[in-house]
A and B are shown apart, each in its own frame.
Chain A
């Protein structure tokens, strides 16, 4: 089956995110004075062949550990794993 996984990779909270700070300040200048913080991350969409959702999830986690995320500075989370329409057919 084919699964679509959505992964978010983000700098760890303790790592300074200058892009996020600039975006936060920009939003405030635009009048969004309620913005407390902004953090910028990466969104990765993967199509994965696997027998089950569990297998797909484990495979994606391994990909994150090995390449998609640098554990020194980044955390990742797998937002969703769903079968493609094609996979369900």
Chain B
């Protein structure tokens, strides 16, 4: 299958994502921000970085790129869209996902391993990963504190749209070990149909034992499985 990887000025994890895709045995194509063409991608990854220098707010300017109109239309048709780190920030600014990512509670840029508990089985990204499993995937961000209104947070939990939560290494609640102070320890969420995932941690940097963990590879393989099944994720009728 083919993963399309968006490249904005300031994107920094595009090559890492392409490396992970190729390691998984699939094809990676780069999607330039000024083009509207998704080049036949089965899944679009918005990788990490500082698109447009994070001017104004992280992700605020990237959403006006010609490429983003195509990405939004692709997501609306049920296409798999995966925002990682800055990509998650962009998806929130583009209103594909609710909430916002704000400055880490510590005010520090955190680049370190994080431990994630999978909270939903209903998304193709996380299908088959049991909730008692703890994935080790690194974070690398200064603005990753997930914030949303209480009603939105309750809705995300009720509808099983929290994809990942930060936990301690042994799977217990993150407490002070949260890398950013996210509300309810949220590390990633999906849209109502489950075909759009935003997450702050970087699975593409956890795809080889040499890097300390290959847990991230499971997500890439999950996406490939979903696409090969021809799974359709129709937007729910509203």
Residues of A within 8 A of B (CB): 11, 15-16, 18-19, 22, 67-68, 70, 72-73
Contacts and interface: CB of A to CB of B under 8 A. Distances in A.
A16 B148 CA distance: 12
Interface of B: 56-57, 60, 92-93, 98-100, 102-107, 145, 147-149, 181
B87 to A, nearest CB: 17
A67 B147 contact: no
Given A16-B181, A18-B107, A11 B56 contact: no
Contact of B103 (A18, A67, A68, A72): A18
**Majority secondary structure of chain A interface residues (helix, strand, loop or mixed):** mixed
B147 A15 contact: yes
Given A67-B60, A72-B99, A73-B147, 11 more contacts: A11-B102, A15-B102, A15-B147, A16-B102, A18-B104, A18-B105, A19-B103, A70-B60, A72-B100, A72-B147, A73-B102
A86 to B, nearest CB: 27
Contacts, number: 33
A72 B148 contact: yes
User: Which of A18, A22, A68, A72 gathers the greatest number of chain B CB atoms within 10 Å?
Assistant: A72
Contacts of A72: 92, 98-100, 147-149
A70 B100 contact: yes
Contacts of A67: 56, 60
B182 to A, nearest CB: 11
A48 B126 CA distance: 48
Contact of A70 (B93, B104, B106): B93
A56 B103 CA distance: 32
29 contacts: A11-B102, A15-B102, A15-B147, A16-B102, A16-B105, A16-B145, A16-B147, A16-B181, A18-B103, A18-B105, A18-B107, A19-B103, A19-B107, A22-B107, A67-B56, A67-B60, A68-B56, A70-B57, A70-B60, A70-B100, A72-B92, A72-B98, A72-B99, A72-B100, A72-B148, A72-B149, A73-B100, A73-B102, A73-B147
